Amino acid sequence: MPIFDIHISPDEPVYVISVVSKLVDLPAWTLRQLDKAGVVCPKRLGKKSRLYSLKDIKRLEYVHYLLEDKGVNIRGIKIILETEKED
For every residue of 8-63, DSSP letters joined together read: --TT---EEHHHHHHHHT--HHHHHHHHHHTSS-PEEETTTEEEE-HHHHHHHHHH
**pTM summary value:** 0.88
- Write down the domain spans for the chain: 15-86
According to the model, what pLDDT value does residue 87 have?
67
Does 15 have pLDDT greater than 70?
yes
pLDDT at 47: 84
Domain 15-86: which topology?
A: Multidrug-efflux Transporter Regulator; Chain: A; Domain 2 (1.10.1660)
- pLDDT value of position 46: 87
Band (72; pLDDT cuts 50, 70, 90): very high
- Tens-digit pLDDT profile for residues 36-45: 999 999 999 8
